[in-house]
Amino acid sequence: MKNGNPVVWFEIYVDDLNRAKKFYETVFQLELSELPMPDTADASMKMLFFPSNMEAINSASGALVKMEGFKAGNNSTIVYFMSEDCSKEESRIAAAGGSVSKPKTSLGDYGFMVLATDTEGNMIGVHSMK
């Protein structure tokens, strides 16, 4: 895959699915949807999907996941969410139960970012060009 985005899927592990759902829906002003799990899936697994198009090229889809044996937080991977202006999401983080770890910061020619911790202890990023 030459010069293409190889990321197609992400999972954010949570301890409290309803609390995490409220956080992400509030901060990003979107609706997560629950899809039935296949019979082959772990019976303890529950997933809420971010709006997506699995057929889109160079676009990642993902879900909040609650599953026995997978604790939220303290992960070493940060998912960055796209934004028009990341200060908008930053302004909603605390009210949604999270905390801002690094306020809007310039990345020079590469735009801006905010780092935050969600209600489950996961570090996330928000990126924008303005």
Kindly state the average pLDDT of the residues 9-33: 95
For the chain, what is the mean pLDDT?
A: 89
Please, which residues bridge with residue 126 across strands? 81, 114
Structural domains of the chain, ranges and CATH numbers in brackets: 9-128 (3.10.180.10)
At 102-113, the pLDDT tens digits run 999 999 999 999
**Cα–Cα distance, 114 to 108 (Å, whole number):** 14
At 44-89, the pLDDT tens digits run 889 999 998 777 777 788 899 998 888 898 777 889 999 999 999 9
Q: What percent of the chain has pLDDT over 70?
A: 95
Q: Tokens at residue 42, please? A: 């772990």
At 22-39, the pLDDT tens digits run 999 999 999 999 877 777
**Cα–Cα distance, 17 to 65 (Å, whole number):** 7
Task: Give residue 42's pLDDT.
Answer: 76
